[in-house]
Amino acid sequence: MVRRATEIPHAAAVRRPERRYLAPPTAAEAAGARIAGVSVTMLMALFFASLLMPIEPRIGPIRMTPYNALQIVLFIPLLLRFRNDPSNRIVLLDVLMVLHVLMMGVAIYHHHGLSRGVYIVNQTVTIFGGYLIGRVMIRSAEDHRRFFTCFFWSLVIFLPFALYELLTKTMLVSEILGRITRVHPRAGQPPRLGLFRVQGFTEHSILFGLYCSIGVANFFYIYRDELAKRLSRTGMAAVMTFMSLSSAPIIALGIQLMLIAWDRTLRIFTYRGYVLIISAALLLAVVRLGYENGVVGLVIDNLLFDAKTGWGRTEVFEYGAAEVLRHPIFGIGLNDWIRPWWRKPSVDNFYLATAMRFGLPSLLALCIGLGVHCIRIMRQRRLSDTAASYRRGYVVVWVGLIFVLATVNIWGSVSVMVMAYLGAGAWFYTGEAPEQARHPRDPVARRRAASSASRDAPSAARRERHPTKQNRPAR
């Protein structure tokens, strides 16, 4: 007769050896953490405040934006904090990010020598400095929530100015600050749907939409136990994403909402992620076979505000890819590229622009790092219930970002934010110590608990029948 684990005395006390984890900082320790003598909470607020300032003052020939100034000041303190944090460690993503930035600098030096030394330093500070902000400041679920609280208030502060620009085309903040210093010029963009595209504090409306879209899934999962905050904050981020009137951020918004709906509808199924991947692959195969121009053509013809811009991007990709094949190692640097005479020199594809300017090694280092990063996050099976919820939002947003980055090249404040967001996810596998058990409603946790109990039950029974000398009762 086989007894259940719960019927065996002392079975609950039997535990298999567990992997040791460094204890996470307590809430008080996290709130009191300081970098360069300033609390991490204050630095997060300063970081977002610097992103909201659409100014670009000059110090001689050097363009010094508020976020660049903050990154320069914090660069060394962040490195020291990383080295001295006992709960942190170097991971593959860190190595690949260093390699990515290093190859960028080598490519520019190869083509331009030290004449572009300022550009190399600026790129290093912007890319790796932004990455360090997220990598070092966010070390736990509390930090993650605090970061997105600051992000939420950045949207709230700019919401009235975005509404004003949507209706009048006037960038009010830039108009005011432009009387004092240089500001980002307004990109020449025709109205859509009878409204003006909101550029906000960024250099282009598509960048504004990308920035706002980062909050959608994150707000939905961070505030999972607070319905009013979940609906209001997710809705506000979605509306502000739509204000950009840019196709790519809006499609990314739709991708996030569909993934959220999928997750919530099939949450009782354990392997819903695998089902999603297989379903998406089958759908793409059907579209590829059934639509004349494939998936790209379907998106351009049916989902974009202006199909001409979409087909123009495909033409840029063809000529840009040819440049990559001609210069695969070091790219072309900041030199001009071969293209039709009617095409502007801008490249609306982050991956393509990176490979063209800095070579394939730099792009591969970044893409492999992102892929390994996401895989490590998704493979974590012993996160707390709160951390597991935050993880869903983080990964869902990355699915949308990966799509947007194929349609726009990021620069300025938004590139800093994207790099900070990349670094912000490392705490899922290097920070908070996982709980020993997941939420009881989690079907995966229930099966693992039952399997563990069934494996431990025979050992417990043997120990009960044949107690060791240490466990025998005293006479």
Closest-CA residue to 244 (of 231, 253, 235): 253
Report pLDDT for 443.
46
Per-residue pLDDT tens digits for 179-214: 888 888 887 777 888 889 999 899 888 899 999 999
Report pLDDT for 95.
95
Report pLDDT for 237.
95
Q: Is the pLDDT of residue 309 over 80?
A: no
Q: Is the pLDDT of residue 370 over 70?
A: yes
pLDDT above 70 covers a percentage of the chain that reads 75
| Mean local confidence (pLDDT), 164-176 | 90
Report pLDDT for 88.
85
- Where in the chain are the domains? 39-257+368-439
Q: Is the pLDDT of residue 448 over 60?
A: no
| Mean local confidence (pLDDT), 252-267 | 86
Report pLDDT for 465.
56
Confidence of residue 337 (pLDDT cuts 50, 70, 90): confident
Report pLDDT for 155.
95
Q: Is the pLDDT of residue 78 over 90?
A: yes
| Mean local confidence (pLDDT), 353-367 | 93
Report pLDDT for 380.
87
Confidence of residue 7 (pLDDT cuts 50, 70, 90): low
Report pLDDT for 38.
83
Mean pLDDT, the chain, as a whole number? 80
More confident call, 67 vs 316? 67
Per-residue pLDDT tens digits for 36-65: 778 889 999 999 999 999 988 887 777 888
What is the C-alpha to C-alpha distance for residues 93 and 173, in angstroms, rounded to an integer?
A: 37
Confidence of residue 312 (pLDDT cuts 50, 70, 90): low
Q: Is the pLDDT of residue 130 over 60?
A: yes
Of 61-65, 104-108, 329-333, the one with minimum mean pLDDT is: 61-65
Report pLDDT for 440.
41
Confidence of residue 17 (pLDDT cuts 50, 70, 90): very low
| Mean local confidence (pLDDT), 226-232 | 92
Highest mean pLDDT (candidates 19-33, 166-180, 269-283, 442-456): 166-180
Report pLDDT for 186.
83
Report pLDDT for 219.
96
383: left (phi over 0), alpha (psi -120 to 50) or beta: beta
| Mean local confidence (pLDDT), 242-271 | 84
Report pLDDT for 318.
86
Confidence of residue 462 (pLDDT cuts 50, 70, 90): low
Q: Is the pLDDT of residue 163 over 90?
A: yes
Confidence of residue 269 (pLDDT cuts 50, 70, 90): low
Single pTM value for the model:
0.81
Report pLDDT for 30.
47
What is the C-alpha to C-alpha distance for residues 91 and 122, in angstroms, rounded to an integer?
A: 24
Give the 3-state DSSP-derived string for the chain, with helices as H, strands as E and coil as C: CCCCHHHCCCHHHCCCCCCCCCCCCCHHHHHHCEECCEEHHHHHHHHHHHHCCCECCEECCEECCHHHHHHHHHHHHHHHHHHHCCCCCCCHHHHHHHHHHHHHHHHHHHHHHHHHHHHHHHHHHHHHHHHHHHHHHCCCHHHHHHHHHHHHHHHHHHHHHHHHHHHHCCCHHHHHHCCCCCECCCCCCCCECCECCCCCCCCCHHHHHHHHHHHHHHHHHHCCCCHHHHHHHHHHHHHHHHHCCCHHHHHHHHHHHHHHHHHHHCCCCCCHHHHHHHHHHHHHHHHHHHCCCHHHHHHHHHHCCCHHHHHHHHHHHHHHHHHHHHCCCCCCCCCCCCCCCCCCCCCCCHHHHHHHHHCHHHHHHHHHHHHHHHHHHHHCCCCCHHHHHHHHHHHHHHHHHHHHCCCCCCCHHHHHHHHHHHHHCCHHHHCCCCCCCCCCCCHHHHHHHHHHHHHHHHHHHHHHHCCCCCCCCCC
